[in-house]
Each structure stands twice: as structure tokens, then as C-alpha cells.
Structure 1
Amino acid sequence: MNRTDDIGKFLLRATLGVLILLHGIAKLPKGVDGIGHMLASQGVPSVLAYLVFVGEIVAPVLLIVGFFTRPAALVVAINMVVAIWLVHMGDLGKFNGTGGWALELQGMFLVAALASAMIGGGRIGAGGRFN
């Protein structure tokens, strides 16, 4: 594997990590109450709302530093599937005002997380063999 492969993997995982982390940080001041109510309305135990912070804070930090990249990316992918299911299902077949898919951001996050889970984090990062 050449150096550009490692740089590409780093760019993918770090960008995904930073962008998802910003969503997690934005949720911190409000805590898990809103997410818990949303889960409860779908028949899911509200205590699982704490997993949002795992998927939007812990896993992204792991992606950024390059430690346990594959499992962290899988956690982000699962988080995105749940977010699409709970929040965005009504927009699944819609387009935005500029002709793009209404869920292009969520779709890009999901596919980037799946790609990172499949290819790993490369040699740039703290993970070494755990990448």
C-alpha cells in the first residue's frame, strides 16, 4: 500500500469524525431528553438515547485519532441508520430546492462510515494494528 492510500483513509475518517462530532457537541447542552422522548414515541426505551453520544462523540473521536477505526465507523453507520429511521424517513424520497436529495448529508455520512469500516483507517493515526 502506498502513502496516498493512507492519506486518503485519514482524510475520509478524520472528516467524517469531525463532522459527526460537531453534531454530538451540539446535542450536549440539551442532554438526552429530546432524543429520549423521540425514542419512547417509537416504542424504544428512552435510556438508549445515551447511545447517541457514543455514536456522535466517542466513535467520532476514535475516528479522528485513528484508533479502533473499523468498529468506530460501524458505530457511526448504525447511528446514521437509526437517525434516518427516527427523524428522516419522511424525507427519504424527497429532493431539496436545488435538486439534491433531501437526505444527501445523512446518506454521505452513512456511506463514508461504511467505507471507513470496510477499508480501515490506514497507517496515519494512533491505532496501528487496531485500525
Structure 2
Amino acid sequence: MERSNEIGRFILRVFLGITFFVHGLAKFQGGIENTAGFFESLGLPPFTAYVVAIIELVGGLAMVLGLGTRVVAILFAVILAVATVKVKLAAGFLGNGQMAGYELDLALIVIAIYLSLAKTSLFALDHVLFRSKEA
């Protein structure tokens, strides 16, 4: 039973990491200045676009590797919560025809929260680097 839990956590962690890595990469490839302008139109300081993109890019890679999983998961949950409230909430759960809803964002928040609460996985660098002396 424990092995299947490990595999499940591994799958969720890698999926979440890849998802955020790709989103961070897209922000830089599409012109981070455009993202900064979008953030400003939402009433957020433009520099937050850089902060979010770096967290997504570096945090996504760290999540895939299982390094700093709990901290990165919390950062992802915060980013998603702000994005949901600032952008997606008005479109509704399933969207409004012009914009996607927040159902995927909510699912990713749940995954991030789970990973922030779950114990370190055997398939993570956190486990290798920071395992207790009792283990």
C-alpha cells in the first residue's frame, strides 16, 4: 500500500512541476513584458510577472526533481489562488465562452496543497538529501 502512495505522490509532483515549468517558460518565450503589462492591467505591480514566471520556471523544475517540494507547492497554491480570484473567478467554474473557468486552477491548488502536506516521497531529492538519521 505504501509503495502505491509513493507512486501516486510522484505522479502528482511531476505533473504539477511540468505544468508550472511550461507556464513559466511560456511567459518568457511570449515576451515577459507582455505578461507584465497584463499583470499591471489587473492592478498588480508589473515586477510581479517576473517573480511569478521565475517561481513557475525554477519551482517547476524543483518540483519535478522533488527539491523543496513543500515550499514550492505552497508558492504554487498562492499563485493559483491569486490568479483564480483576479482573473478566472468572474468566468465561473466552467468558463463563459470567452475564457476558461477555474476548474483546472482549483484542481492544481488541491494537488499543491496535498503535496505541501504529504510526507517526502522516496522518489524525491528531498528524501535523499534530508532524510532523518533514524531512516
Q: TM-score range by the shorter chain?
A: 0.7 to 0.9
Aligned pair 1:127/2:123, yes or no? no
Name structure 1 gaps, 5 residues minimum: none
Q: TM-score, normalised by structure 1?
A: 0.82
Q: Percent identity?
A: 28
> Residue 108 in 1 paired to residue 107 in 2?
yes
SS of 2:125's equivalent in the other structure is coil
Change (3 A) 1:10 1:29: same
CA distance 1:96–1:86, change in 2 (3 Å): closer
Q: Distance in 2 between matches of 1:8 and 1:93?
A: 26
The number of residue pairs the alignment matches comes to: 127
Kindly report the root-mean-square deviation, in angstroms, between the aligned alpha carbons of the 2 structures: 2.3
Separation in structure 2 between the aligned mates of residue 121 and residue 33 of structure 1, nearest angstrom: 37
Q: Which has the higher contact order (CA 8 A, sep 6+)?
A: 1
Consecutive unaligned residues in structure 2, runs of 5 or more: none
Paired residue type of 2:56: E
Offset of 1:60 from its aligned partner? 1.2
Residue 91 of structure 2 corresponds to: 91
The CA deviation at 1:34 is 2.2
Given that residues 38 and 86 in structure 1 are in contact (C-alpha distance below 8 angstroms), is that contact kept between their aligned partners in structure 2? no
TM norm structure 2: 0.80
